[in-house]
Structure 1
Amino acid sequence: MDTINPATAPALAAPPLRCAKFAIGQVVKHRIYPFRGVIFDVDPVFANTEEWLSSIPEEVRPRRDQPFYHLLAENAQTTYVAYVSEQNLLADDTGKPVSHPQVPQFFKELKRGHYVSRERALH
Structure 2
Amino acid sequence: MNDKNAKFGIGAIVRHRVYPFRGVVVDVDPEFDNTDEWYEAIPAEVRPNKEQPFYHLLAENSDSYYTAYVSQQNLLPDGENGPVSHPDVDDMFDGLDGERYVLHPEAFN
Alignment equivalent of 2:87, drawn from 85, 101, 109 = 101
Identity %: 55
Structure 1 unpaired stretches of 5+? 1-15
- The question of whether the paired residues in 1 share the 8 Å contact of 2:11 and 2:101 is answered with yes
Q: Which has the larger radius of gyration?
A: 1
Aligned position for 2:16: 30
Structure 2 unpaired stretches of 5+? none
Q: TM-score, normalised by structure 1?
A: 0.83
- The question of whether the paired residues in 1 share the 8 Å contact of 2:79 and 2:100 is answered with no
User: What is the total number of aligned residue pairs between the two structures?
Assistant: 107
Query: What RMSD in Å do the two structures reach over aligned CA positions?
Result: 1.2
Aligned position for 2:72: 86
Query: What one-letter code is carried by the residue in structure 2 that aligns with 1:87?
Result: Q
- The question of whether the paired residues in 1 share the 8 Å contact of 2:12 and 2:79 is answered with no
Alignment equivalent of 1:39, drawn from 17, 21, 25 = 25
Aligned position for 1:50: 36
- The question of whether the paired residues in 2 share the 8 Å contact of 1:29 and 1:90 is answered with yes
Runs of 4+ in structure 1 off by over 6 angstroms are none
Mapped to 2, the partners of 1:36 and 1:55 lie a distance apart of 21
Q: TM-score, normalised by structure 2?
A: 0.93
Q: CA deviation at 1:119?
A: 1.5
What SS does structure 1 have at the residue aligned with 2:94? Answer: strand
- The question of whether the paired residues in 2 share the 8 Å contact of 1:21 and 1:86 is answered with yes
Aligned position for 2:61: 75
